Structure 1
Amino acid sequence: MNRTSDWWLGVLFTAFIAFLGYGAALIPGVNFLGPMACAIFIAILFRQIFDYPEKWRRGIEFSTKTLLRLAIVLYGLRLSMDTVFEDGLSLLVFGVLSIVLSIVLMIFLGKWWKADPSISLLTGVGIGVCGAAAIAAIAPIVKAKDEDTALSVAIIALIGTVFAVIYTIIQPIMPLTDSQYSVWTGLSLHELANVVLAGAAAGDEALALALLAKLGRVLLLIPLSFIFILWMKNKHSSNADSNISFPWFLLGFIGMSLIGSYVIDEVIFVPAAVLDSITAFSSFILTMAMVGLGLNISLADLRKRAWKPFLLAIAVSIFLSIIMFGAVKLMNI
């Protein structure tokens, strides 16, 4: 009974900070950030000053992982499948480029600067694919230590959040259409939550396109995982852990996209008020997910042994943003 109540307290704690984020977003001078960014910064600040009870961790992880995936599935209602057929293949190609550049640069720059190789590799995977989820999938395959995994996740969470906020701030002055901006966020930002945060600045339709670009990179986690399995087998001549978790929520996102494109209004009528309520709900649970992300960022741990990979990750993230900016300018979106 106590474990159940502790789980609920963890979930409710993320909801409480999410409410604070919505309140902070009403303050003049801060409102341009929006509730999601405000909430995650409150969470980061809380973690550094007070921390949270360890017994709440399961509830917080539920918000960070499960609610995030549920929100992404619901966001599929906003995606036009016609856009998928027109732009999906090219987005997947650029997704491959994003992953290759991120991992290769982090590995070679890490060797050059004598940065921790394990953290550099995992951070490169996080930058290129889908942040913490990709790190969590690859870490057991490459036999990474738990502390290396945690530090890599913290690096990605912090940098990805800062970049998402920067994208949101500069969106109005960028020489990109809303569609180009959304694809840029999907191809260059780290976490799904980062893409949602930045992509929302261009509107709901653009956000759905940003998720399409990002989820293409998420899907590439599967072949990437098998590549690392083969690499580990060749390196050590032993079996690596091949327990890879398929991102099933991707199928849910596609399914909801099909419903939104070809069922709603075409087959059945759904009142606008209902769709607006689903949108509001998905936005709020996404904010809860980002709160959980912020609560897992420890600045003290980053300072101790991961400052080199941290600085390299910033450099690679900037480079990736520039390259993908050039790529989307060439795409007819």
Structure 2
Amino acid sequence: MQYSESPNHMLKSWPLPFLGGIAFTFFIALLGMGLSKLPGFHYIGPLASAILISVGYRQVSAYPEKFRPGIEFSAKKLLRFAIILYGLKLNIGVVFHQGLPLLLRGIGTVAFSILVMYALAKWLKADAPISLLLGIGTGVCGAAAIAAVSPILKSKEEDTAISIGIIALMGTLFSILYTVIQPLLPLSDSTYGAWAGLALHEIAHVALASAPAGQDALAMALLAKLCRVFLLVPLCFFFMLRMRKCAPGNQKRRTKIEFPWFLIGFIMTSLLGSYLLGDITPARVSEMISNLNTYILAMAMVGLGLNVNLATLKNRAFRPLIAMTITSILLSVLIFFTL
């Protein structure tokens, strides 16, 4: 946005585009939360619903330039804050005391997803940045992983939004499929839960697929998923070092990889929730914090979705979608036969 006013006038008018942009993402996120309550849309959840509305808005109207400062604040700053709050969902103590075998399997899940996605993307000549984000989201924890890694990889906001939308759609379809076939499988409840927790994308998808199989399945599924969420931190640092190392020799000194300080916050909230707040925080308060985190993430998704221009993406999203579908199928089959 360009201004021709005097500096004093610019200072006085600055809060309007900033606060207006935040209010804009707040309102669209509210619509997304409402949409996610409707039949059918409750499967894809509030984050994907918010992206759908914002992407739809962008296609019928231009980007709201006058609100850009606030929208970019939601897409970047609020997104990092939401990742920090997301750490409260990770109980590190449970992971180390009960989930070490699942943690090792989780490492295999992450490595398999990224490497197979990379190979398929090359074979299908799919868009590389989107494919990498989808591989990371498939291996770790869906939208949260994509949102955490994208600033490190310097991904375009458009690519991030597309990847989150795709993974929300595919994760929903796979979780429904798991629920349908679960009664037909020769698996115990806990084994089925481990399968779902190691193979499905989002925490919400894992809960959706495992809850119908009973409390034992749900508990094992969430434990397996927490082990994968734990791997988000070392994976982000790996990519930070990788980005630095892969810079051309004459540009290494000039290549600046922003340190992901929000991951330090993620670790701190994880420790806080695991060892200090976990036993003393009322369930109602925990639920309110979780809902707040979801809403802030939805506002960030709106900011990302407004950067998506579908007219320019006809040939960019389809092949990564195919590659991710194949990767998810192979991952599910591999985990099923190795449990």
Distance in 1, matches of 2:227 and 2:262, equals 13
The aligned counterpart of 1:60 is 71
Q: Which runs of 5+ in 1 are unaligned?
A: 141-148, 187-194
Question: Normalization by structure 2: what TM-score?
Answer: 0.73
Q: 1:3 to 1:162 in 2, by over 3 A?
A: farther
Distance in 1, matches of 2:288 and 2:228, equals 25
What secondary structure does 2:313 align onto?
A: helix
Distance in 2, matches of 1:199 and 1:125, equals 22
Q: 1:217 to 1:317 in 2, by over 3 A?
A: farther
The aligned counterpart of 1:11 is 22
The aligned counterpart of 1:48 is 59
1:291 and 2:302 correspond = yes
Alignment match of 1:216 (pick from 227, 231, 252):
231
Alignment match of 1:162 (pick from 166, 169, 178):
169
1:19-98 mapped onto 2 (5 Å cutoff): 19-28=30-39, 30-85=41-96, 86=100, 87-98=102-113
1:263 and 2:270 correspond = no
Q: Tell me the CA shift for residue 282 of structure 1.
A: 1.3
C-alpha contact (below 8 Å) 1:125/1:131 kept by paired residues: no
The aligned counterpart of 1:249 is 262
Q: Which amino acid aligns with 1:238?
A: N
Q: Tell me the CA shift for residue 317 of structure 1.
A: 0.6
Distance in 2, matches of 1:239 and 1:273, equals 51
1:315 and 2:322 correspond = yes
Q: Tell me the CA shift for residue 30 of structure 1.
A: 4.2
Q: Tell me the CA shift for residue 166 of structure 1.
A: 2.7
The aligned counterpart of 2:117 is 102
Q: Which amino acid aligns with 1:121?
A: A
What secondary structure does 2:14 align onto?
A: helix
Distance in 1, matches of 2:203 and 2:81, equals 13
Q: Which amino acid aligns with 1:250?
A: L
Alignment match of 2:129 (pick from 95, 114, 122):
122
Q: How many residues get paired?
A: 299
The aligned counterpart of 1:144 is none
Q: Tell me the CA shift for residue 243 of structure 1.
A: 1.6
1:238 and 2:250 correspond = yes
C-alpha contact (below 8 Å) 2:86/2:266 kept by paired residues: yes
What secondary structure does 1:220 align onto?
A: helix
Distance in 2, matches of 1:16 and 1:261, equals 33
C-alpha contact (below 8 Å) 2:109/2:199 kept by paired residues: no
C-alpha contact (below 8 Å) 1:79/1:209 kept by paired residues: no
C-alpha contact (below 8 Å) 2:92/2:230 kept by paired residues: no
Distance in 2, matches of 1:327 and 1:19, equals 39
Q: Tell me the CA shift for residue 314 of structure 1.
A: 1.6
Q: 1:298 to 1:25 in 2, by over 3 A?
A: same
Deviation per CA, 1:303-329, whole angstroms, max 9, x where unpaired? 3xxx1x433212211122122213443
C-alpha contact (below 8 Å) 2:160/2:304 kept by paired residues: no
Q: Tell me the CA shift for residue 177 of structure 1.
A: 3.7
Distance in 2, matches of 1:227 and 1:31, equals 38
C-alpha contact (below 8 Å) 1:168/1:197 kept by paired residues: no
C-alpha contact (below 8 Å) 2:32/2:53 kept by paired residues: yes
Q: Tell me the CA shift for residue 171 of structure 1.
A: 5.0
Distance in 1, matches of 2:241 and 2:37, equals 46
Q: 1:177 to 1:43 in 2, by over 3 A?
A: farther
Q: Tell me the CA shift for residue 297 of structure 1.
A: 1.7
What secondary structure does 1:263 align onto?
A: helix
C-alpha contact (below 8 Å) 2:29/2:299 kept by paired residues: yes
Q: Which amino acid aligns with 2:235?
A: L
Q: Which runs of 5+ in 2 are unaligned?
A: 1-11, 137-144, 183-190, 212-217
The aligned counterpart of 1:145 is none
What secondary structure does 2:258 align onto?
A: coil
Give percent identity, aligned residues only: 32
Q: 1:273 to 1:156 in 2, by over 3 A?
A: closer
Deviates more, 1:22-31 or 1:90-99: 22-31
Q: Tell me the CA shift for residue 6 of structure 1.
A: 0.9
